[in-house]
Every structure is written in C-alpha cells, then in structure tokens.
Amino acid sequence: MIKVTIWNEYEHERKIPAIYEVYPEGIHGALKNGFKTESDLIVRCATLDEPEQGLPEEILADTDVLIWWSHARQEDVTDETVERVIRHIHSGMGFIALHSAHYSKIFRRLMGTPCTLSWRHGDSEKLFCANPAHPIAQGVPACIDIPEEELYGEPFSIPNPDDVVFLGWFAGGAVFRSGCTFTRGYGKIFYFQPGHEEAPVYEHPDIRRILINAVRWAAPTTRLPAPPDNVAL
C-alpha cells in the first residue's frame, strides 16, 4: 500500500465562486477522486489552514508520497513547514509539485534555482510524451489535449531534470517542460505543469492516469528515519 497525502493551499476554491464551481470539493478533493480506482493507494488530504499547516510531523512520517498544489499563498508556508517537508523528502518521501507549485518555497529549495517561467492567462495545451519508456508514461497517449489551461513557457529556470517525460505546447506560442523528474536525497520528485484552477484539468482521465503513475513511481525505494548525515568512517 502507498500512502498519499494531497496537500492543497485551498484558497481560490473557497474565495472565488467561479473556481468553487469548477472544484466544489477543492482541488484536493478532485485529485483524491482521481485515485479512487486504485486499490493500492491510501489517500488523505491536508490544507494550509489546518494545524501545523496541515502537515504535522506524524502525518509526514505516515506519508509515502506528498502532492502539493499552491499558488496564492506561497509566502504563507512557514520556514518550519518547509524544513519539515524537505527533511522527509530527503529521507525518501516522494513529492509531486503541481502547476503553480513551481514557485513554492519547497520546490524552489529542492531545485536550487529561481524556478521562474513565462506565463499568460487563458490558453490551451497539447501535452506530448517525450519519454514513452518512463513509468509515468505507462498507458498515457502520445498527446493529451487540454482545452483550457494557463500558458507556461520556457525558459523554465530549473536544473537539468533526470527525465523530461512530457513537453507542453501552448496555442498562444509557448513550449514548456511540463513533466519532469528529479531526485533529491532519497526522495523522488515529479513536477507536473497542468492544473490551472479555472478548468477541471484534474478530472481528465489521462491526467489522472499520469498522477496515478507518478505516485507509484515516487513511492520510496528506501525510507530513512532522518536525512543522511556525514559519516566519519
């Protein structure tokens, strides 16, 4: 069994009626629904306004893969939360950063780069698979049409990924490394660009397939009680 925690800042869906209508159960709720078919996954949700920002030590210790969606409240995530989450990633917890979480404190700390990009509201995307041999691409079509999606464009200031699994094409004239894997310490990381809050992207069956694959891929190979330390031989 793989224990998944979906962590959502949960802001737009509560404050903006048009987004509430897209995701009445919250983005986390829609993501959770996408895992319902998978009997090897145990999924819970957490949101930023819960105690300890939704991620107390005991939840993280009981999480194999953490999924994070953030946008409006990047700066509200405390340094303590950042440290706690990164400690668990370095110890082996998988981490999936969605959409605007490219600019979250946690993702930027893991990358060591600005993580900046170009963007524009109101576009559509074709998501192409550039690495069909990758486990995250299993059962995923060569191209996924996302009729409504925010444009994200290169240069995306990230380190060279381990693998670029998906490349995004945007009608308005941009291209993006939309699905990338990284390893940090014992933790496997997947950044996945689709998921603007104004359209039900996380209800798309192929997007759900990708996230299911990503969770299985990111599940720990080894989980340490703490990050590795320097060892005097």
Applying CB under 8 A, among 130, 200, 203, 206 the residue interacting with its own copies is 130
Q: Is 153 in the site for its own copies (CB under 8 A)?
A: yes
What lies within 8 Å, CB to CB, of 62 at 6+ separation is 3
Q: Is 205 in the site for its own copies (CB under 8 A)?
A: no
Applying CB under 8 A, among 128, 148, 200, 203 the residue interacting with its own copies is 128
Beta bridge partners of 127: 144, 168
Applying CB under 8 A, among 111, 180, 207, 211 the residue interacting with its own copies is 111
Residue showing tokens 């340490």: 224
Q: Is 71 in the site for its own copies (CB under 8 A)?
A: no
CA-CA distance, 181 to 136, in Å (whole number)? 10
The upper half-sphere exposure of residue 161, i.e. CA atoms within 13 Å in the direction of its Cβ, equals 22
50 or 206, CB closer to its own copies? Answer: 206
Phi, psi of 56 (to 5 degrees): -65, 160
Contact segment (CB under 8 A) with its own copies among 4-12, 56-64, 67-75, 170-178 equals: 170-178
Continuous H helices in 165-220: 205-218
Applying CB under 8 A, among 66, 96, 167, 180 the residue interacting with its own copies is 167
Question: Residues 175-194 vs its own copies: string with x where CB under 8 A?
Answer: x-x----xxxxxxx------
The upper half-sphere exposure of residue 16, i.e. CA atoms within 13 Å in the direction of its Cβ, equals 12
| Structure-token pair, residue 107 | 């993702």
Give the closest residue to 14 by CA, choosing from 197, 196, 207: 197
Q: Is 221 in the site for its own copies (CB under 8 A)?
A: yes
45 or 89, CB closer to its own copies? Answer: 89
Q: Is 82 in the site for its own copies (CB under 8 A)?
A: no
SS3 27: helix
Report the nearest approach of its own copies to the CB of residue 136 (Å). 9
Q: Is 73 in the site for its own copies (CB under 8 A)?
A: no
CA-CA distance, 61 to 170, in Å (whole number)? 39
**Binding stretches for its own copies (CB under 8 A):** 90, 92, 103, 109-114, 116-120, 126, 128-135, 137-139, 142, 151, 153-157, 159-160, 162-164, 167-170, 172-175, 177, 182-188, 221-222, 227-233
